[in-house]
Chains A and B, each alone.
Chain A
Amino acid sequence: MSIYQEQILDHYKNPRNQGGILKPDKKTIVHNPLCGDSITMYIVFDKNKIKKLTHITTGCVISKASASLLCEYSTKKTKEQLRKLDKGFIIDMLGIKLGPNRVKCALLALEALQKLLI
């Protein structure tokens, strides 16, 4: 089965929560030097909850779709809920099977979110 499923391509071509936030509570940049992917992620909190989470992603289909899906999922969730997210969650969220090299692309967005939640 190809990893380029409809949902993945949809989030790649029409990324949700894309763009910067002028005055975010926090902002972070993560890179994957091997393939040149990079994600800048912006967050606005509402007490313990995520009010707004956006991203600017340059990279492959998987990293972009993953960032789009993760930002969409995370809005309105609590920090505690999001801190529990792991590799398994991301893979389930994408719904595709990834080899060891492409998993890194998928996990880049989670790395950014985790940095924002420290």
Chain B
Amino acid sequence: MFNTTQIKKDFSIFTFSPDLIYLDSTATSLKPKQVIDKITAYYQEYSANIYRGIYDISEKATEEYEKTREAVRLFVNASSSEEVVFTRNTTESINLIMYTLGKQIIHKNDEIAVSIMEHHSNFVPWQILAREKNAKLLIIDIDENGQLDDISKIVTQKTKIFAITYVSNVLGTINPIKKIIKIAKQINPKIIVVVDAAQAAPHIKVDVQDLDCDFLVFSSHKMLGPTGVGVLWGRKILLQKMSPFLYGGEMIQTVSINKTTFKDAPHKFEAGTPHIAGVIGLRASIEYLANIGWENIVLHEKKLIDYALNSFENNFKNKIKILGPRKNHSGIMSFYFDKAHPHDIAQLLNDDNIAVRAGNHCAMPLHNKLNISASVRASFYIYNTFQDVDALVQSLKKAIKIIE
């Protein structure tokens, strides 16, 4: 069963800051000691480069690195580990797709579809590509509950790329991504669907075969893993066709003065020495999550968010505006008060050791659509408790009293 007290013991940050109430896991999660130990072990025991050394510690490093690729394959239920590419983060994964496949297939008057709830990382690259190619960027809107509109109003036979988030990093909306992809592929069987799973991978079971997407991307640091590691999963047939993203060491087969040939995917996309320790650390975070189990994680977060939503509505009534839907809601809650700026709220919460995010959360198009410049966001993860929610509510009451 879920034991937050036990879980918190794995997160040494609570030893250093026992009073910390961390409600910003959507920005980045905390890291358990199992992950930190795994990274340290690499640097202390076998810190060699991968692939090239014909000696024990290099072979050990290579093996550990490649074992993570296999762990990620299982994590997203891909059919082959050759479909798993390591990048720096979600943003780089999306840029990789845009710069290689995007530039190759998007031409004048083609259409690219995204939604209004995208994080800038799944919005700006497509906007730039559309502008460069004189293509059209079409935006799927949301309804008043923060749920995605019918995509068939926007996606057409001319839509070549459809980039969509699994879970909104502001509204907390969990998009019915499988259904959406099915509709998109009925409209245009050749459509390339890119799923931004940055806010999904840490919280729900992701299955690329079941979703039938073409690419799925996420970041290690939001799922208990180290910063500086991202994942790009792509269909093998697409990865094979795509040209490399960065050129240089490791990604080549042969180099002569006149010509270079490249390795096959995924290695042709991993130029230069990667974040070896980070990738190895990611495996520890996958194992940590697997030990807790998806059912437990989902249930824990649901209990917390339901408790928080109720508590907010009871305590602040119509003074507060909570963004996003009440159903299909992940452990993310954004809100604002008419008479208090989000920055002041966050600052005053900080005086009570509560860490929340204030601003536009890298989603300016969404905030513009909602007619607000900023919001406060509290997000919950495995180490959060009902007491954290209570403390948040009490501290918010105090903050409003000071400002109003």
Identify the A interface with B (CB < 8 A). 2-4, 9, 12, 34-37, 59-62, 101-102, 105
Is the beta-carbon distance between A35 and B347 smaller than 8 angstroms? no
Interface status of B306 (Cβ within 8 A of chain A): no
A60 and B341 in contact, given A2-B351, A35-B359, A35-B373 (Cβ under 8 angstroms):
yes
CB nearest to B351 among chain A residues = A2
**Listed A/B pairs (17) with beta-carbon separation below 8 Å:** A2-B348, A2-B351, A3-B347, A4-B344, A4-B347, A4-B403, A9-B402, A34-B360, A35-B342, A35-B343, A35-B358, A35-B373, A36-B372, A36-B373, A36-B374, A60-B344, A61-B344
Q: In the complex, what distance in Å separates the CA atom of A105 from the CA atom of B344?
A: 11
Is the beta-carbon distance between B402 and A35 smaller than 8 angstroms? no
* CB-defined contacts of A3 to chain B, threshold 8 Å: 347
Is the beta-carbon distance between A102 and B347 smaller than 8 angstroms? yes
Contact of A34 among B348, B359, B372 (CB under 8 A): B359
CB distance from B326 to the nearest CB of A (A): 26
- How many chain B residues touch A (CB < 8 A): the figure is 15
CB distance from A65 to the nearest CB of B (A): 11
Additional A-B contact list (15), CB under 8 Å, known A4-B348, A34-B360: A2-B351, A4-B344, A4-B347, A4-B403, A9-B402, A9-B403, A35-B341, A35-B358, A35-B373, A36-B373, A60-B343, A61-B341, A102-B343, A102-B347, A105-B343
CB nearest to A36 among chain B residues = B373
CB distance from B400 to the nearest CB of A (A): 12
Q: In the complex, what distance in Å separates the CA atom of A34 from the CA atom of B342?
A: 12
Q: In the complex, what distance in Å separates the CA atom of A2 from the CA atom of B350?
A: 9
* CB-defined contacts of A102 to chain B, threshold 8 Å: 343, 347
* CB-defined contacts of B403 to chain A, threshold 8 Å: 4, 9, 12, 61
Is the beta-carbon distance between A4 and B402 smaller than 8 angstroms? yes
CB distance from B284 to the nearest CB of A (A): 32
Q: In the complex, what distance in Å separates the CA atom of A3 from the CA atom of B349?
A: 12
* CB-defined contacts of A60 to chain B, threshold 8 Å: 341, 343-344
CB nearest to A105 among chain B residues = B343
Is the beta-carbon distance between B374 and A35 smaller than 8 angstroms? yes
* CB-defined contacts of A37 to chain B, threshold 8 Å: 341, 373
* CB-defined contacts of B372 to chain A, threshold 8 Å: 36
Q: In the complex, what distance in Å separates the CA atom of A103 from the CA atom of B341?
A: 15
Q: In the complex, what distance in Å separates the CA atom of A105 from the CA atom of B403?
A: 16
Q: In the complex, what distance in Å separates the CA atom of A92 from the CA atom of B287?
A: 51
CB distance from B272 to the nearest CB of A (A): 31
* CB-defined contacts of A12 to chain B, threshold 8 Å: 403
CB distance from A73 to the nearest CB of B (A): 23
Q: In the complex, what distance in Å separates the CA atom of A62 from the CA atom of B341?
A: 10
**Chain A CB within 10 Å, residue with most, of B342, B343, B360:** B343
* CB-defined contacts of A36 to chain B, threshold 8 Å: 372-374
In the complex, which residues 331-346 of chain B have their Cβ closer than 8 Å to any Cβ of chain A? 341-344
Q: What 0/1 readout, one digit per residue, does chain B (353-378) give for beta carbons within 8 Å of chain A? A: 00000111000000000001110000
